[in-house]
Amino acid sequence: MAFLPPWTGVLVYFFCVSLAGSDFSDLYPPLWLKSPGQFSDYRVENGKYIIDPWVYSERMGMYKILVNKTASYFENFVPDNEQNILWGLPLQNGWQFRTGRLADPRRRKDCGYESGDLLCISVDSWWADMNYFLCALPFLAAVDSGIMGISSDEVMLLPPPKDQTNFCLNVSSCQSSFPEIMSKWNAFYQHLQYPSSSFEDLLKYLWAAHASTLENAGKIFEDRLEYYSKPEADFGKNWCVAVEYLAASLFPTTLIITHEFQRGLPPRMLVNGDRAPFISDFTDFQNTVLLVLSFLPRLDNSSGLLSLTGWKFLMKTQEARKEVLELFEIILEIFNPKFRYIPNV
Ligand SMILES: *[C@@H]1O[C@H](CO)[C@@H](O)[C@H](O)[C@H]1NC(C)=O
Ligand SMILES: *[C@@H]1O[C@H](CO)[C@@H](O)[C@H](O)[C@H]1NC(C)=O
Ligand SMILES: *[C@@H]1O[C@H](CO)[C@@H](O)[C@H](O)[C@H]1NC(C)=O
């Protein structure tokens, strides 16, 4: 890796010191250690690994294999694969699980609830469906690109109990149904394997694939948002806009940075009456993030430099991206003093 923003090193260094000898496992998503970590942990039928992505631990296992198989491309002075920018995906899935967002939003079944089948992922959940596209497609594209160590026809995902035509289940069907998304993920894995790719190059390809995935999946599952309270549905929509802003700034989705950023996300589903920044069981950080998100669609509509178009234009220069990352750092520092900035000496 040719280039790492210097402040990343500083954050990591400080975090290591504050952990004083412990490891990164506190930062892992729920049930990470118990999820499958290699293909042989899954069932085999007719020479294919069979994975049920509608069971939380099996979906998380796909990420675990992906993060493991890409680790060697992110080797650095930091141990434990911390710099792998694919950490953003499993961490977001873990946050969705922890906050009840993968459960049946209409509560017609026990899917995803402690009183029923906690590990069940509901096909009626907007979050779960959007996440499917951010799990199955990056995973299958990685298989296709050869870095997972199995061939393209050796793995099959199980369909959900309904609406099966919305979901592709293997490399060939994903390629024919979603060629544009698959080719963007393939481009990311290709650049991952080039020794000349910089950390920023990889973020560029990762975010291009991520944004294309959300844009396509967003259209398919728009109607699912009707199952939610207005504040939660608005949050979901605003989140998609926020991701575009993060994408343009090439936000580095490594383990520690994603984990710190996630402290600002709602710790439960939003209900009617929740209004940031006045939600009493949320932290200041969570209230602030929610408030900022609620402004984004209005900002995006404006004609100024902070509209998404203006923002994308601004973020074309490395200097501007650096400024934004430093701003992120200051925000993290305000809400978590552990991240106090240490100047490079
Ligand atoms: C990847 O998984 C293998 C087998 O489970 C394990 O031995 C190895 O340490 C893992 N590598 C990383 C970087 O996590
Ligand atoms: C891929 O899945 C489709 C159904 O979605 C199936 O018809 C096809 O045979 C599968 N291909 C492989 C190589 O398993
Ligand atoms: C953005 O602008 C469009 C068209 O001018 C309008 O219909 C929409 O309600 C606006 N959205 C927000 C969030 O202001």
Domain boundaries, the chain: 6-335
CA of 226 to the centre of ligand 3 (A): 20
323 vs 39, residue with greater confidence: 39
**241 Cβ below 6 A of ligand 3:** no
CA 205–ligand 2 middle distance (angstroms): 28
- Cβ neighbourhood burial of 10 (10 Å; 0-12, 13-18, 19+): middle
- pLDDT over 70 for what percent of the chain? 89
The residue contributing the CA closest to ligand 2 atom 7 is 173
Per-residue confidence band for 24, with pLDDT thresholds at 50, 70 and 90:
confident
CB 88 within 8 A of CB 66: no
The tokens describing 182, both together, are: 């698959």
Question: In this predicted model, what pLDDT tens digit does every residue of 62-100 receive, in sequence order?
Answer: 999 999 999 999 876 566 788 999 999 999 999 999 999
Q: How far apart are the first and last CA of the chain?
A: 22
| Residue 20 pLDDT grade (very low, low, confident, very high; cuts 50, 70, 90) | very low
Ligand 1 centre and the CA of 68: distance in Å?
Answer: 6
More confident residue, 157 or 322: 157
247-293 pLDDT, tens per residue? 998 999 999 899 999 999 999 999 999 999 999 999 999 999 999 89
163-201 pLDDT, tens digit per residue, is 999 999 999 999 999 999 999 999 999 999 999 999 999
Q: State if residue 37 touches ligand 1 by the CB under 6 angstroms criterion.
A: yes
Task: Determine what percent of the chain is predicted with pLDDT higher than 90.
Answer: 70
Of ligand 2's atoms, which has the minimum distance to the CA of residue 153? 13
The pLDDT of residue 7 is 47
The pLDDT value given to residue 296: 84
Is residue 4 scored above 80 in pLDDT? no
CA-wise closest residue to 312 among 298, 324, 328, 327: 324
Dist. CA 130 → ligand 3 center (Å): 24
Tell me the whole-structure pTM to 2 decimals: 0.89
Is residue 81 within 6 Å of ligand 1 at its C-beta? yes
